[in-house]
A and B are shown apart, each in its own frame.
Chain A
Amino acid sequence: MADKVATRDAYGKALLVLGAENPKVVVLDADLSKSTKTADFGKKYPERFFNMGIAESNLLGTAAGLAAAGKIPFASTFAIFAVGRAFEQIRNSIAYPKLNVKIAATHAGITVGEDGGSHQAIEDVAIMRAVPNMVVLVPADGEETRQVILAAAKYNGPVYIRMGRLEVPLLFGSDYSFEIGKANVLKEGTDVAIMANGVMVSMALEAAELLAAEGISVSVVNVASVKPLDEETIVRVAKQTKAIVTAEEHNIIGGLGSAIAEVLGEKQPTPMVRVGIKDTFGESGRPQELLEKYGLTKADLVNAVREVLLKKASKVM
């Protein structure tokens, strides 16, 4: 079994690297620094760490002011509070003036687990994707998170980074290369492609292996950069495989599946099946049990592949 690390842990470590490299980097949190993993930065660089208390609107608004004065603020809290509570601060104080704020949100999706539906952001990608000037990134493992955080710091403008609480398998080594606006084809295949991000990427790779044993050649594409979206790679892979499954730990409405459907609908109509949370709220439970209950396992991906292959064979869109 591969080593596991939560993307939030990788975020905390990447912040320490950034803190040493770039004195402009500052970090803000809203009384969740032990959970979002910004606390280590706070210990090492206390003068550049601002706990704003349980006040997310002010957290994001203050980050905007810091950016307006030349800092590179990483503002962290749970995804539900960043995007939910402080949506309009993000929209009007950060995205509208295109300020250099990094919204590093953790505890996204149902893998939050026991805290339950009130704390499980399932609509954050859809909301952030619809905001002009916003870059939306969803890393899949610890290494990709490290690279996403460094890339976000280099990029000049607002970035939303979606991370999780759950430990996930390490998929990539330091030879992996993340770039904003680029999708990564992790595995070439000819019959069907699974396009996934976040926790679903490791499951997509596992599903591809299971299907390979049946003689089905599956391409796996990691789409960490939901916006900007790598339309070229998505269209190329769709042309090649003529059948697409998307997979995300997010509502089926408005997230990665929707983004890919938008591109393919206009540029390369292709049979598709979207795997995601089926427009319902989550609940308390162990993360693994919730993934099973809400249809986000490798078995669900295998079923989705079979379904899309039937569509492909019958030429049904």
Chain B
Amino acid sequence: MNTIELKRVANVLRQDIISMLVTSKSGHPGGSLSAAEIVTTLFFNEMKIKPQDPRWADRDRFVLSKGHAAPVLYAALAEKGYFPKEELQWLRQTGHMLQGHPDMKKTPGVDMSTGSLGQGLSAANGMALAGKLDGKDYRVFVLLGDGEMAEGQVWEAAMAAAHYKLDNVTAVLDLNGLQIDGSTDSVMCSTPLTEKWRSFCWNVIEVDGHDVEALLAAFAEAKQCKGKPSIIIAKTVKGKGVSFMENQAGWHGNAPSVEQGEQALKELRKEALSLG
């Protein structure tokens, strides 16, 4: 898929995120919108996957450690054909498969159940260790949040990934700068993150997380790096693509009303038109 097509997919994912949250009246828009390009480049370019065979043993894995961004994952999985798009309207509804946070037992294409922050990188490391043991060349991707950097387990796992030289692990840090109670700097300052990850012996790549070309280049660089894990620190805007949601902590976990949803979709459709 070329970069224009990837940008179009990211736009479609954003529209789907808004639509499903309006319908479910519940969910997390801010951190889903910020990760649209990251998830798009992974699922539509970087990852070796077979939507018709979600449990394919040699597939690349994806762990959404910031599990509250489930809507962007579900939108990508539906767009990729793991399940019909109609399922998206049943997000967070009783008896349906799209749980509030990813559930590997219920949703095809979800490789790990997540949602409790801080646990995703450990699981990704486990999958990567298994891959090395089995002599398989699959890679494991994990999407972390910046608020999540306050969880001690992230750093336990960071240490272990470097110790076991897990160059088949690529983490992406969705650095959108906001968490529920405000800016990450005000709630619990985790900077300097680049230096922290470097000091944990990771290969660190910094990019603009909305720049598709830059993301593709970063994934290519991560793939080339041997002997240690890579992390792509992707600077993003929380709520990206919807003017009234951008950089607003209040849109972390609140669903838009029907009217707000229409406004958001109007903006996103306008952006789609500009992409041609």
Contact = CB atoms under 8 A, between A and B. Distances in A.
Contacts of A65: 63, 112, 122-130
Q: Is the interface of A mostly helix, strand, loop or mixed?
A: helix
B260 to A, nearest CB: 32
Contact of B119 (A26, A68, A70, A92): A92
Interface in B84-117: 103-105, 111-113, 115-116
A151 to B, nearest CB: 23
A61 B123 CA distance: 5
A-B pairs, 3 with minimum CB distance: A65-B126, A61-B122, A69-B130
Interface in A69-117: 69-71, 73, 88-89, 92-93, 96-98
Given A96-B113, A97-B104, A57 B127 contact: no
Interface in A21-51: 26, 47-48, 50
A92 B115 contact: yes
Interface of B: 57, 61, 63, 103-105, 111-113, 115-116, 118-119, 121-131, 133-134, 152-153, 156-157, 159-160, 163-164
A147 to B, nearest CB: 27
A241 interface: no
Contact of B113 (A50, A66, A71, A97): A97
Given A61-B122, A69-B134, 18 more contacts: A26-B129, A50-B164, A52-B156, A52-B160, A53-B156, A58-B153, A62-B126, A64-B119, A65-B124, A65-B130, A66-B126, A70-B130, A70-B134, A71-B130, A89-B153, A92-B113, A93-B112, A97-B103
Contacts of B127: 65-66, 68-69
A97 to B, nearest CB: 4
Interface residues of A, number: 29
Contacts of A55: 153, 156, 159-160
Nearest to B103: A97
A47 B133 contact: yes
Given A69-B131, A70-B57, A93-B122, A62 B112 contact: no
A17 B164 CA distance: 26
B133 A48 contact: yes
Contacts of A48: 133
Nearest to A47: B133
A63 interface: yes
A47 B118 CA distance: 27
Given A64-B123, A71-B130, A57 B160 contact: no
Contact of B153 (A26, A53, A57, A97): A57
Contacts of B57: 70
Contacts of A67: 126
A88 B111 CA distance: 19
Contacts of B124: 65
B133 A62 contact: no
A68 B125 CA distance: 11
17 contacts: A57-B156, A58-B156, A61-B122, A61-B126, A61-B157, A62-B157, A63-B126, A64-B112, A65-B126, A66-B130, A68-B126, A70-B130, A89-B119, A89-B122, A89-B153, A93-B116, A93-B122
B104 A64 contact: no
Interface centre among B104, B126, B156 (most CB of A within 10 A): B126
Contact of A53 (B105, B115, B133, B160): B160
Contacts of A69: 61, 126-127, 130-131, 134
B160 A58 contact: yes
A48 B141 CA distance: 23
Contact of A97 (B105, B128, B129, B130): B105
Nearest to A62: B126
B146 to A, nearest CB: 20
A62 B159 CA distance: 12
Nearest to A64: B123
A73 to B, nearest CB: 8
Contacts of B115: 92
A71 B125 CA distance: 13
Contacts of B131: 69
Nearest to A70: B130
B128 to A, nearest CB: 8
Nearest to A57: B153
Contacts of B156: 52-53, 55, 57-58
Contacts of B121: 61
A63 B163 CA distance: 16
A152 to B, nearest CB: 18
A57 B105 CA distance: 22
